[in-house]
Amino acid sequence: MRTRLSICLKKARFPSEAAALLAPRTASIALRHYRCDRCGLFHLTSRTKGKRVARPGQ
């Protein structure tokens, strides 16, 4: 699914995957990073529908 431009503009942008991986460490919810198909940078999302999520300890 393509990211809507209005959503892309509202989200925080991270220039690298490494920077995006460091950001959610202080969050109270589980976040994952993804490369945006609009801007080419990385964003964070809490959505997991349709995504394989590793369970803790695996």
- DSSP state, residue 14: B
List, for residues 29-54, the tens digit of each pLDDT value. 888 889 999 999 999 998 877 666 66
Q: What do you get for the CA distance between the two ends of the chain, in Å? A: 28
Nearest residue to 53 (alpha-carbon basis) of 32, 26, 37: 32
Nearest residue to 46 (alpha-carbon basis) of 13, 19, 24, 26: 24
pLDDT band (50, 70, 90) for residue 1:
low
Distance of alpha carbon 55 from alpha carbon 17, whole angstroms: 21
